[in-house]
């Protein structure tokens, strides 16, 4: 964060006149990161209340603390009272963002947000100094934290935007003010709170709120619900829509002649506006091609050179446990367990079905979370998909994954449900031999890396 006058950063949060020459050097929410001249924002969590650390923050040099109510433990003139700490973060993020003019892409969607963000980063980095969202910092705390990392030499940025309810992406988009937007697809994540895919589509389309007139909006031409939104006139005509996909012949940007190996995919990118380009991406699965097309479509419609954009897709790097390939003692492990939804599990299984290996293929599957009433049906569907994926056996963890095992067995696939990490690890240790490959896929909360770590240590 570049130093910013307190009066600028805190505008809209306090009526109290602040010292005209006082500068803020950081905004922090973690008491371990308190530093001199920072603003410490107090959040009340389930286990820890940030307000308890307010005196410590002042003692360690914080200029101000954002509190939800006045505290008698610190001077009143060092407190910025705001009923919502989330609102305070968003307001400060917007105030700080207004000082910089990078070309920015905003990314949302039910599946593929982070991979698409990384493809955007690869493309934009070919043109200049680029900032990206770290990890999945895509909420009302994470997006402001990303914006606080903007500097005067930041030329490009890509910001990921997530949500759990209607209205969140609109607020994030209005704060970030991207120059282009991407919606990857409309899935069933957050069905528990939003109730229908139509509502999820409405929530994702809220990214339009922060886009200026004429801004590019890259949309998946093969997505049923985005197409319905187009037919129903729900996509603002003031925006420049660019459609990408693999199946829709009318898409503006598509890919043909797809081939691949164990580490990459090759295809011809066909852009109706800019011609065709040979592309190689170091990522697996058809869904990764969609994510690459999305990044290309948004970047080129922002005015960046198409040939350079297409070539830069080769610079993509996976993050975390997203299709990370690990080779140990002759076995192949594909870590794809950072997150999971029915759509992403289907895509991973399709990728794994075509993955080249000399031995057998196994899948370690865990629960998909936040599905609400769809939980049983969705996990049974995974069992059917697994049975169609050329697997030798499925090892499953989690209460809902019992439905996956039952359905897989009904479809003739050997499958076992394990009660814990150790049982799952032992099952796989007994099964796997050199040449075999394992796909690990589940929601982040299932912590499948616990099983993988045991396999890496003992295999």
Q: How confident is the model at residue 340 (pLDDT cuts 50, 70, 90)?
A: confident
One-letter-per-residue 3-state SS of 46-96: CCCEHHHHHHHHHHCCCCEEEECCCCCCCCHHHEEECCCHHHHHHHHHHHH
Question: For 127-143, how does the pLDDT look when each residue is reduced to its tens digit (9 = 90+)?
Answer: 999 999 998 799 999 99
Q: Could you give the domains of the chain?
A: 4-85 (3.40.1390.10), 100-243+285-311 (3.40.1190.10), 324-458 (3.90.190.20)
**Backbone dihedral region of 329: left (phi > 0), alpha (psi from -120 to 50 degrees) or beta?**
left
SS3 content of the chain, % helix, strand, coil (to 5): 40, 20, 40
Asked if 22 and 61 touch (Cβ cutoff 8 Å), the reply is no
> Is residue 191 predicted with pLDDT exceeding 70?
no
Q: How confident is the model at residue 459 (pLDDT cuts 50, 70, 90)?
A: low
> Is residue 253 predicted with pLDDT exceeding 70?
yes
Averaged pLDDT for residues 78-87: 96
Q: How confident is the model at residue 373 (pLDDT cuts 50, 70, 90)?
A: confident
Has this prediction a pTM greater than 0.85? yes
Place of tokens 């499958």: 415
Asked if 174 and 106 touch (Cβ cutoff 8 Å), the reply is no
Q: What is the SS3 assignment for 134?
A: coil
Is the four-CA dihedral 90, 368, 289, 244 of positive or negative sign? negative
Least confident residue range of 376-380, 388-392, 441-445: 441-445
> Is residue 307 predicted with pLDDT exceeding 70?
yes
Asked if 163 and 173 touch (Cβ cutoff 8 Å), the reply is no
Question: For 57-80, how does the pLDDT look when each residue is reduced to its tens digit (9 = 90+)?
Answer: 999 999 999 999 999 999 999 999
Output the pLDDT for position 300.
98
Question: For 390-444, how does the pLDDT look when each residue is reduced to its tens digit (9 = 90+)?
Answer: 999 999 999 999 999 999 999 999 999 999 999 999 999 999 999 999 999 999 8
Q: Would strands 64-67 and 79-81 be described as parallel, antiparallel, or unpaired?
A: parallel
b/e map 77-102, b = 16+ CB within 10 Å: ebbbbbeebbebbbbbbbbbbeebeb
Asked if 432 and 459 touch (Cβ cutoff 8 Å), the reply is yes
> Is residue 249 predicted with pLDDT exceeding 70?
yes
∠ Cα 345 220 318 (to 5°):
50
């Amino acid at each position: 964060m570049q130093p910013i006058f307190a009066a600028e950063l805190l505008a809209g949060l306090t009526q109290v006149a602040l010292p005209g020459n006082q500068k803020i050097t950081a905004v922090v929410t973690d008491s371990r990161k308190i530093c001199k001249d920072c603003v410490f924002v107090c959040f009340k969590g389930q286990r820890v209340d940030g307000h308890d650390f307010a005196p410590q923050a002042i003692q360690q040099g914080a200029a101000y603390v954002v509190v939800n109510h006045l505290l008698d433990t610190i001077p009143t003139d060092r407190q910025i009272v705001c009923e919502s700490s989330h609102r305070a973060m968003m307001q400060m993020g917007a105030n700080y963002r207004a000082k910089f003019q990078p070309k920015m892409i905003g990314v949302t969607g039910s599946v593929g947000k982070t991979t698409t963000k990384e493809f955007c980063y690869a493309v934009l980095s070919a043109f200049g100094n680029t900032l990206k969202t770290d990890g999945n910092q895509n909420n009302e705390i994470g997006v402001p934290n990303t914006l606080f990392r903007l500097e005067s030499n930041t030329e490009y940025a890509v910001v990921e935007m997530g949500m759990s309810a209607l209205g969140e992406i609109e607020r994030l988009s209005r704060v970030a003010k991207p120059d282009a937007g991407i919606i990857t697809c409309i899935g069933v994540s957050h069905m528990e709170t939003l109730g229908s895919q139509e509502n999820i589509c409405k929530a994702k389309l809220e990214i339009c709120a922060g886009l200026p007139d004429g801004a590019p909006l890259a949309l998946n031409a093969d997505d049923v619900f985005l197409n319905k939104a187009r037919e129903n006139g729900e996509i603002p005509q003031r925006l420049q829509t660019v459609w990408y996909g693999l199946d829709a012949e009318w898409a503006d940007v598509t890919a043909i002649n797809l081939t691949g190996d164990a580490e990459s995919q090759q295809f011809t990118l066909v852009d109706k506006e800019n011609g065709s380009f040979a592309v190689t991406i170091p990522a697996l699965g058809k869904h990764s091609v969609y994510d690459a097309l999305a990044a290309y479509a948004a970047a080129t419609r922002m005015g960046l050179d198409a040939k350079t954009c297409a070539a830069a897709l080769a610079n993509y790097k996976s993050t975390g446990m997203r299709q990370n390939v690990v080779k140990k003692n002759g076995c192949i492990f594909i870590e794809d367990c950072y997150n999971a939804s029915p759509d992403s599990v289907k895509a991973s299984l399709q990728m794994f079905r075509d993955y080249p290996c000399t031995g057998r293929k196994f899948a370690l599957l865990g629960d998909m979370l936040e599905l609400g009433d769809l939980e049983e049906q969705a996990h049974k569907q995974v069992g059917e998909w697994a049975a169609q994926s050329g697997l030798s056996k499925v090892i499953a963890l989690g209460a809902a994954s019992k439905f996956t095992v039952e359905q897989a067995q009904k479809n003739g696939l050997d499958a076992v449900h394990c009660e814990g990490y150790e049982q799952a690890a032992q099952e796989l240790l007994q099964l796997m031999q050199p040449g075999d490959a394992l796909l690990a896929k589940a929601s982040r909360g299932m912590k499948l890396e616990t099983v993988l770590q045991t396999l890496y240590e003992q295999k």
